[in-house]
Amino acid sequence: MAHATTAPAAVPGPGLTLHGLGVEGVNQCVHCGLCLASCPTFAELGTEMDSPRGRIFLIKSLAEGRIGLGDRTVEHLSLCLDCRACETVCPAGVPYGRLIEAARAEIERQRPGPAPRRFFRWLNFGLLLGHPRALRVAVGGLRLYQASGLQALLRRTGLARRLPGTLAAWEALLPSLPSAAARAPLPAVTRAAPPRRGRVAMLTGCVQAVVFGAHNRATARVLARNGWEVVAPPEQGCCGALNAHGGDHARALAMARRTIEVFERVAAEAVVVNTSGCGAHMKAYGELLADDPAWAERARRFAASVRDVAEFLAVEPLRGPLTPVRMTVTYHDPCHVVHGQKIRRAPRDLLAQVPGLRVVELPEADWCCGSAGIYNLTQPEMADRLLRRKVANVARTGAQAVVTANPGCILQIQAGLRTRGLELPVLHLVEVLDRAGGEVPPGPR
């Protein structure tokens, strides 16, 4: 995304840093180019500076003070999805995700943009993500917008598409919001079905808790059915993943410290997460707080206890008896599960245990759908190109439903399918496992 103002070049500190964040990892790149074929933006645009290797070169040049943050540089860096597909294939172990997040924090420091943009960022990153109560009020207002028929009217008349700025993109992505009762927080404790295996803590998330509370309830039920008592601390808030992704480094640090503090109070064997971006981010708290002597050790310990829900459940076979779920599904790998946490087999192994379920492999299953945090709002054109590619691949499978494991992917793929007139549900993995547990009638909803 280009901004109107030009600011002075980055001043390199000791070592290679951007926004005070170490980017020495750029020197690990041996320029082999093996990552190029895995990069969605390079595949779409074919330009070196929109490839991982090109962006690493830009980040290194910035950190060494050889270039400044001109419009083109900002554009190339902003077009990156932070999907980390390049990390998966890199033989030199370049920590690309950390590098691009440092670069984004530097962009925000040097080029915060005009007042409306700064306000919008504060509204999202500061007010809504930072204060769960404010988020609940906002979602309540949006629910009213839907229930009153105003949304249907704006969509029917085409006015929704003419909303200013990124509001049109926000509006198009808005899912059908749950009622106040369905937005109720998860109980602080969900008892384990006997025989009890132990106790886990669960991140209920910020947006996840109010928009996809059903996924949280399904997660707790599946864990409980498999012998785990589930503790959901009511005082938890946002983990800071979206802030870090969007270059809002200071708030991301504060949210990480708060999350650690809240979960340290729960004596649990693991912190289970059902949103991929949050899980990948919380597993990186150790690196995020490495330079803070008061928090470094606590952050490392906490990060080691974080588990994606699929990775956690797949360790043991699912407890039966399992109810058949008779349908054909295809699985989309969220970037921050498959690339951010290197979890590829666990969700497939779990789906394979569900009787009656047929799973067909999705072509380019680990290719980003264009959601990527708030990328579909800040880079709608590229996000749409990637979404079209994803939807075309889904259509090729003949599946009756798409299964994935991240709210952003669910919203994005749902919107893409809707636009192309395909009436396929997009389910979270835990919803399928929950149906197999027998409490919800099987089959597409």
Please name every residue paired with 331 in a beta bridge, in sequence order, or none if there are none. Answer: 403
- For Cα atoms 429, 377, 398, give the angle at the middle one, nearest 5 degrees: 40
Please, what is the minimum distance in Å from the beta carbon of residue 97 to ligand SF4? 7
CB-CB contact of 352 with 320 (8 Å): no
User: 187-226 mask for ligand SF4 (x: CB under 6 A)?
Assistant: ----------------------------------------
Nearer CB in complex with ligand SF4: 343/368: 368
Nearer CB in complex with ligand SF4: 32/182: 32
Please, what is the minimum distance in Å from the beta carbon of residue 319 to ligand SF4? 37
Mapping DSSP to helix (H, G, I), strand (E, B) and coil, where does residue 254 land?
helix
Nearer CB in complex with ligand SF4: 96/331: 96
d(CA 390, CA 376): 14
Nearer CB in complex with ligand SF4: 16/135: 16
d(CA 252, CA 258): 10
Nearer CB in complex with ligand SF4: 85/362: 85
Nearer CB in complex with ligand SF4: 33/141: 33
Please, what is the minimum distance in Å from the beta carbon of residue 380 to ligand SF4? 16
Please, what is the minimum distance in Å from the beta carbon of residue 226 to ligand SF4? 34
Tokens linked to 342: 């290197």
CB-CB contact of 370 with 377 (8 Å): no
d(CA 172, CA 163): 10
Residue from 82, 108, 308, 311 in contact with ligand SF4 (CB under 6 A): 82
Handedness of CA 384, 390, 396, 399 (dihedral sign): negative
Considering only the stretches 75-83, 158-166, 242-250, 312-320, report the one whose residues sit in contact with ligand SF4 under the rule CB under 6 A.
75-83
Nearer CB in complex with ligand SF4: 48/71: 48
Please, what is the minimum distance in Å from the beta carbon of residue 208 to ligand SF4? 23
Nearer CB in complex with ligand SF4: 222/372: 372
Q: Contacts with ligand SF4 in 86-145 (CB under 6 A)? A: 86, 90, 92, 94, 96
d(CA 154, CA 219): 35
Please, what is the minimum distance in Å from the beta carbon of residue 41 to ligand SF4? 5
Residue 383 lies near ligand SF4 (rule: CB under 6 A): no
d(CA 287, CA 398): 42
Please, what is the minimum distance in Å from the beta carbon of residue 53 to ligand SF4? 4
Residue from 16, 23, 25, 52 in contact with ligand SF4 (CB under 6 A): 52
Nearer CB in complex with ligand SF4: 151/412: 412
Dmax over CA atoms of the chain, in Å, equals 64
Residue from 53, 98, 121, 249 in contact with ligand SF4 (CB under 6 A): 53
CB-CB contact of 281 with 241 (8 Å): yes
Nearer CB in complex with ligand SF4: 81/351: 81
Q: Contacts with ligand SF4 in 227-246 (CB under 6 A)? A: none
User: 5-44 mask for ligand SF4 (x: CB under 6 A)?
Assistant: ------------------------xxxxxxx--xxxx---
Please, what is the minimum distance in Å from the beta carbon of residue 413 to ligand SF4? 18
Instruction: List, as own/partner pairs, every contact residues 234-238 make where C-beta atoms lie below 8 angstroms and the sequence separation is at least 24, other chains included.
Output: 234/185, 234/188, 235/262, 236/203, 236/204, 236/262, 236/263, 237/130, 237/131, 237/132, 237/206, 237/262, 238/129, 238/130, 238/132, 238/205, 238/206
Residue from 18, 21, 74, 81 in contact with ligand SF4 (CB under 6 A): 81
d(CA 310, CA 209): 19
d(CA 401, CA 424): 5
Give the alpha-carbon dihedral of 270, 273, 278, 283, to 10 degrees: 30
320-357 burial, b at 16+ Cβ within 10 Å, e below that, comes to eebbebebebbbbbbbbbbbbbebbebbbebbeebeeb
Please, what is the minimum distance in Å from the beta carbon of residue 79 to ligand SF4? 8
Please, what is the minimum distance in Å from the beta carbon of residue 241 to ligand SF4? 15
Nearer CB in complex with ligand SF4: 55/251: 55
Size of site (CB under 6 A) for ligand SF4:
26
Nearer CB in complex with ligand SF4: 5/27: 27
d(CA 102, CA 116): 24
d(CA 375, CA 385): 12
Positions that interact with ligand SF4 (CB under 6 A)? 29-35, 38-41, 52-53, 55-56, 80-86, 90, 92, 94, 96
